[in-house]
Amino acid sequence: MRSLVKKAEVNLDTKKDKQAYIDQLSALASFYQYENIDSLKSISDKVYKLSNNINYDKGKANALSGFAYYSSYQGDPNLALQQLEEALKLAKKAKYIRGQINILNQLGAEYSYLGRNNDALKAYLEGSDIAEKDGNIKLLSFIKDNTASLYASQKDYKQSLELYKEVEKLNLQLANPIYIAQTNANMSDVYIRTNQLDLAQKYIDNSIETFEKENYKEWLSYCYINKARILIKQSRPDLAFKWLNISEGILEELTDDRTVMSLYNARAKAHLSLNQIDEAEENANNAIAISERLKLLEESEESYNTLYLIYKKSNRPALALENLEKFKSISDSILKRENTNSLGALKTRTEYERDKREAQANVKKEIDKHQNYLYLAIAALVVLSFILLLIKLQANTRKRLYDQLITQTETLKKRENELENINKTKDKLFSIIGHDLRNPIAALQSLLDMFVSKDVEAEDFLRFIPKLKSDVDALFFTLTNLLSWSRTQMNGGSTSPSKAKIYSLTKNNISLLAEMAEKKEISISNNISENTVVWADKNQMSVVIRNLLSNAIKFTKTKGTINIDAVETEKTWIMSIKDTGIGIKPELIDKIFSNDSTMSVSYGTNNEKGTGLGLPLCKEMITNNKGTIWVDSTLGVGSTFFFELPKEEA
């Protein structure tokens, strides 16, 4: 590679010569990705400068890709993403197909490091489409391999292995032993995670044999660590050190901190199995230092769990509890991120888009078929004597086909709109079920699993009971809102108005939320008179009051106040719930009652999390009861939510 660069550097007379030289430099830069990250940065700087001088977009795209590798290694993933987005724009402008595929693959990997799995999958799918269209089996294999790894990171091992089977077929077409070995190594990781150790052993041994033969150091270090992980799981940690030591020797020649971090985590577990506490502690802390620099939550979670087990085994309860709490905090953060449900939702949308494209292709096929009939008819007109009659018949045929096409197009548009609305409702439900219902249940399951396996002592477990109680209360409230909202989406729900006493409904909901208010020392005053009667659905009004009161408590600071009042007009009652909370940003006030999926969910003053359903649900229910709802708010002072309902049946 270096000799090719030197050869290209000799002749730089024309723009074409300069472009060829820049391309060789770009290839050399990628060679240093694992060998020497500083050399990668230095060569990429040179590539960008030379490309900028001759306005060579392809070269600038390759340089930005190199910068992104360097930024990611330095622990700045957000800068890496900016550089990759700019690189992708340049690659598309230059119609640089191979570069687009590589950059999308790199984008997917960077998003997955940040836990933005939805964005990662989008990048991989776009890259796969381009690779398939271009017929680039090699890059298609790489992207599908990374997509499978993404599913594995989300514990969707079934989907992961199905994709790896597709990659195996592509690798057979390529007949490249290195690609086959890389896929086998990644599959071994899935089998290790699922405790299918015999299969893991088979795949990793095949990979090691190939990589040793080809002296492929970047992957050998990773494979030796997987070999050690298998031995640790087989309760043979003493044998694992042989492979870990070999891997460490290779990594000293490379710049691959993510693999180094895996090495430290494996060493920590091996030392812990042999009761070598000091060595285990040192390696776990080394892994944490790298994972925090690179902002990798999953690896931090594994390291803190290992530290907890180390301190527990060495009878240091204070440190054990501290690291258990860090482990629990990171686990909660991971659960709050996008998970397999977001991947499933995107998969569904992708399948829908594919079906739509197939439907459009079928329509085009029908049009082409009818055009062929038209050409045959015209040819027949030339031959036959009944020219005028056939022209008239053909005109009628074309008109009928055109009418059919218009009808089919309108039907497709109608079905597309229906599917889009159904998908929006489904995505909203999946999002809430996947995040706001699954997270507290998963957290409870995780803690109970540790308690059952005696990883957590009874005394430690009791410390989490108040937190679990809070999570379950929030889960119940979310489920109630979800059911109410779902009913309103199914043909508008059912509204049964009658005379409803607002005072009683308010009193009951204050009692339900009393514990939540007491925790924050918030005083609630029900100033509504007992003769406040409206014509509305009692159950729906209870849901409205509960949501508005819950929000007021959530966004009011400790020792704040909430006042609930009612003002009578000629034909209506106007109810208000006023808090001394943090208020609402002016630019959000017009959006808080909408079902806009781009609206982010806010957190309360004690980090209480909502679903984004409450206020849109209140608006739907108030509207169904012939009323109106609005809000006045001052940032930092508080908010007052008003809703107006009729006194009598219209």
User: pLDDT tens digits, residue range 120-137?
Assistant: 888 988 998 999 899 999
pLDDT tens figures, 486-545: 665 554 557 889 999 999 999 999 988 888 899 899 999 999 998 899 999 998 899 899
Torsion of CA 484, 488, 493, 499, to 10 degrees: 60
Whole-number Cα distances in Å, 42 to 12, 27, 388: 21, 13, 77
What is the Cα–Cα distance from 502 to 510, expressed in whole angstroms?
12
More confident residue, 359 or 37: 37
What is the Cα–Cα distance from 335 to 434, expressed in whole angstroms?
9
Please report where in the chains the tokens 């820049």 appear, as a residue.
Answer: 22
Beta bridge partners of 550: none
pLDDT at 477: 60
What's the rounded mean pLDDT across residues 312-319? Answer: 90
What is the Cα–Cα distance from 631 to 642, expressed in whole angstroms?
6
Is 253's pLDDT higher than 50?
Answer: yes
Mean pLDDT lowest among 154-168, 417-431, 626-640? 417-431
What is the Cα–Cα distance from 401 to 394, expressed in whole angstroms?
10
CA-wise closest residue to 340 among 420, 471, 442: 442
CA-wise closest residue to 92 among 61, 129, 125, 47: 61
Please report where in the chains the tokens 């009161």 appear, as a residue.
Answer: 549
Is 305's pLDDT higher than 60?
Answer: yes
Helices and strands (DSSP H and E) totals, the chain: 27, 7
CA-wise closest residue to 124 among 102, 99, 104: 104
What's the rounded mean pLDDT across residues 325-336? Answer: 76
What's the rounded mean pLDDT across residues 271-279? Answer: 92
* Contacts within 8 Å (CB) and 24+ apart, 521-526: 521/558, 521/559, 522/553, 522/556, 522/558, 522/559, 522/560, 522/561, 522/562, 523/560, 523/561, 523/562, 524/549, 524/561, 524/562, 524/564, 525/561, 525/562, 525/563, 525/564, 526/564
Beta bridge partners of 498: 536
Strand pairing report for 628-634 and 533-536: unpaired
Is 104's pLDDT higher than 90?
Answer: yes
Is 86's pLDDT higher than 80?
Answer: yes
More confident residue, 78 or 434: 78
pLDDT at 335: 65
State both tokens at 509: 């909901």
pLDDT at 560: 94
Contact 530, 503 (CB under 8 A): yes
**Arithmetic mean of pLDDT over the chain:** 82
Please report which confidence band the pLDDT of residue 598 belongs to, taking 50, 70 and 90 as the band edges: very low
> What share of the chain in percent tops pLDDT 90?
36
pLDDT at 628: 94
Residues 6+ apart with CB under 8 A from 357: none
pLDDT at 486: 60
Residues 6+ apart with CB under 8 A from 589: 631, 633
pLDDT at 642: 96
Please report which confidence band the pLDDT of residue 118 belongs to, taking 50, 70 and 90 as the band edges: confident
Tell me the helix, strand and coil percentages in the chain, rounded to 5.
75, 5, 20
What's the rounded mean pLDDT across residues 256-276? Answer: 90
